[in-house]
Amino acid sequence: MKLLQQFILILWVFCGSVQSFQEGAPPLFQGSGEREDWMGTYFQGRKMGFTQSQTRWTPEMIEMDSKVFFQLRSESADQSTTINQKTRLSPDFKLLSFSLLQEITGHRQQVEGRMDGNRLTYRVRSRGFDKEESIDLPPDALPSSTFLLNLMVNGLKVGQKGTLPLFLEPFQMLVDLEYEVLRRETLEYDGKPVETFAIQQKFSGIETILWVADDGSVIKETTNQDFESFRESAEVAQKLDEPLTVSSLITMSLVKPDQPIDRADLVRKIIFHLEPLRSPDLVPEDHRQRILKTERLPNGLYRTTLEVETEPETLGSLSSHPKEQDKKYLEESAEVQSRHPMIRALARELAADTQNDWQVARDINRWVHNNLEKELVDTVTALDALHERRGECQSHTYLFTALARALGIPTRIVNGLVYSKEYSGFLYHAWPEVYVGEWRALDPTFGQDVVDATHIKLTEGTKEGPFGLMEFVGKVEIDWSKP
């Protein structure tokens, strides 16, 4: 299973903010002009896409158009993703407005935003969803698409460090980005030496190093997820290898335990050891999983031991109308269109005259499992999954969540790891939990009303959950034992 779309968007946040290097160009857009920049993006040495950036500037405004393309394929479909964004800045590099369009396998999501003082009003549109919201941004908050310009405008020096409040346009989230200027370094581009600053960035388990020229252009970028980007000519940047397959990215994120788990679906309780972890409180506890101990390792990182159980067969209590739950578990979103007429009609049909919320949740779980083909394709939203009747774990989870919320059943999206017999290891996965007098986990992808003990919860949430997973992807190791 996978969370491919979010990983691609997260990669875009850190590899998409590029400017151009141009011999003799004035520093940071003096006067008027325009320029273009291309970068090739590689995964484990194989080219998977490119970034194009066109910048125009006048004394009144700076405007940047960026295009990011990632080439991927599953067995049944082209999974390539295109992200186009236009960002407008004032002459002092403050955000004025932006427009972002993401397209994957024929599905589109658009986000448009404009500033009024320190208030950002943005509109999100996807299939069957159109909503405008607003958020107050701190005065020093920066858009992720152009934050590098703000770092450069006052000059850089080795040893400089700080924290930037960053607004992530694709996720409509405000986060903190830590940075440090590590050193000066000479790189070669187009046969000529280029003086750069090596800048380290850290956020939510993602670490990157950018080599930035004095005019703000990115010459090279590497991440701790095996992705790299290099400045290239337009011709070279657009020359791609054979498409990467989704299964190759799955293999990248696979976590192999010290020993396989035989008949994993029948094991009632498992002790897991996860390491190395950046913080002692990364792994959550809930009704199924309990932290037994957390140890500090010699390298300053942590090892967490937790006990995970299969959901019990029976409920401790039943509720037809759960009370006092966080309203966000009933919200509609661009990914979970719980108020759409098609979703609501199907939800009413599945609920029929059943008064027991737990039975309704199980009926929804069974319907989603039986009516969606299990394919490694991103259908992006609940409504897309309902129309196309196929998808991976996230598609199943979004559709389940939309149907349950349409009936007033509080539902949260969980992200974590689950054991795969096919891969003999743990894959990153998504599944829902419902509140029916108590929280209960189900898995519409596997068709489990009683989630087994190999489901390890790591994060929650539609948008923040995938970012939290980056604390673990490509780093965490697992071994296990029976109690």
Pairing of strands 269-277, 477-481: antiparallel
Higher pLDDT, 44 or 440: 440
Domains and CATH numbers, the chain: 4-242 (no CATH), 254-481 (3.10.620.30)
Distances (CA, A) of 324 to 66, 260, 402: 44, 41, 20
pLDDT of res. 292 = 96
Lowest mean pLDDT among 47-56, 148-157, 197-206, 260-269: 148-157
pLDDT at residue 452 is higher than 90: yes
The pLDDT confidence band at residue 23, using thresholds 50, 70 and 90, is very low
What letter represents residue 46's amino acid?
Answer: R
The pLDDT confidence band at residue 25, using thresholds 50, 70 and 90, is very low
pLDDT of res. 298 = 95
Distances (CA, A) of 358 to 5, 325, 393: 31, 16, 21
Secondary structure of the chain: what % helix, strand, coil (to 5)?
20, 45, 40
Sort residue 300 into left (φ over 0), alpha (ψ -120 to 50) or beta. Answer: left
pLDDT of res. 76 = 64
The pLDDT confidence band at residue 12, using thresholds 50, 70 and 90, is low
Instruction: Give the residue-averaged pLDDT of 120-144.
Output: 92
Query: How far is it, in rounded angstroms, from Cα 222 to Cα 208?
Result: 5
pLDDT of res. 18 = 46
Query: How far is it, in rounded angstroms, from Cα 474 to Cα 394?
Result: 20
Share of the chain above pLDDT 70, in %: 90
Largest Cα–Cα separation, the chain: 74
Query: Which among 243, 256, 250, 100 is positioned nearest to 167, based on CA atoms?
Result: 100
Query: How far is it, in rounded angstroms, from Cα 99 to Cα 136?
Result: 18
pLDDT in tens, 342-383: 999 999 999 988 778 999 999 999 999 999 998 777 767 999
The pLDDT confidence band at residue 316, using thresholds 50, 70 and 90, is low
Token representation of residue 8: 């691609």
pLDDT of res. 26 = 43
Pairing of strands 81-89, 62-70: antiparallel
Share of the chain above pLDDT 90, in %: 50
Average pLDDT, the chain: 86
pLDDT at residue 315 is higher than 50: yes
∠380-224-426 over CA atoms, to 5°?
A: 60
Query: How far is it, in rounded angstroms, from Cα 371 to Cα 7?
Result: 26
